[in-house]
Amino acid sequence: MNTHQILLPYFTQAFADRKFSSSETKAIKQILREHSLDHNQRTMLLHDLFAMTEEALCQGNNREVMDWLRKANQILIDADQAVSDRSDVYFSPGHDCLNAILEAINQARKSIDICVFTISDDRISEVLIRRHLAGLPIRVISDNEKMEDQGSDIRTLSDARIPVRIDRTPNHMHHKFAIFDGESVLTGSYNWTRSAEKYNNENILITNQPRVLRKYQTAFNKMWEEMEVY
């Protein structure tokens, strides 16, 4: 069932009452936050809304119906603004990538899921431990071989009681992404190391696009179940 099909019953019920209850409005906006409505689905939904109101308009209930239709359109506009895509890009060498990671960690309020090849930058690890000790749920997935490198902070994070899982294969867990509050994802080539900040040509992308975010969260959850507790 696509987003258009999920939404239509809510609009149909609201039209039967000629008004949107607070619970209907909240439910519609929640659906639009969790499921993308692409151009074709939006066109189909608007077609159905106009078809729904056409007969009532022919019967002379113009003001009441037009008020309802304006409200329906406003709900869609408000939802679009609430989930408007926000994407930012950062590059190294330089402080921009590190600062973007630190800011995302410090601004998180509900959870952080981290899936990175290696963490050896103490500035990142210290902030993670501080947020963990303050009660923020944090999960970390990393590569089993890289955690043996000198300077790796994976053991330090685990010793601080941050849940850590690692792969136990001859291949690398080479991802570099983190999900914040289930609302934005940070990804790119940037390793969470001091050399990445000082010397390497690297990049980070932060986005809140729902479809992209869902795919990253699904991948993280799958790996979390499959990998070994450290």
Q: Is 173 helix (H, G, I), strand (E, B) or coil?
A: coil
What backbone torsions phi and psi does residue 120 show, to the nearest 5 degrees? -135, 5
Decide if 71 is catalytic. Answer: no
Active site residue: 4, 132, 175, 176, which one?
A: 176
- Tokens 């159905």 label which residue? 48
Query: How far is C-alpha 15 from the chain's CA centre?
Result: 32
CA distance 95 to 22: 45
Residues in a beta bridge with 166: 142, 228
Catalytic one of 174, 198, 215, 222 = 174
Q: Tell me how far apart the terminal alpha carbons of the chain are, to the nearest angstrom.
A: 39
Question: Are 103 and 204 in contact, with CB atoms under 8 Å apart?
Answer: no
- Known catalytic residue: 174? yes
Whether residue 113 contacts residue 220, with contact meaning beta carbons closer than 8 Å, is answered with yes
Distance (Å, rounded) from C-alpha 157 to C-alpha 143?
14
Residues 6+ apart with CB under 8 A from 26: none
Residue 190: burial class (beta carbons within 10 Å; 0-12, 13-18, 19+): buried
Is 78 one of the annotated active-site residues of the chain? no
Catalytic residues: 174, 176, 181
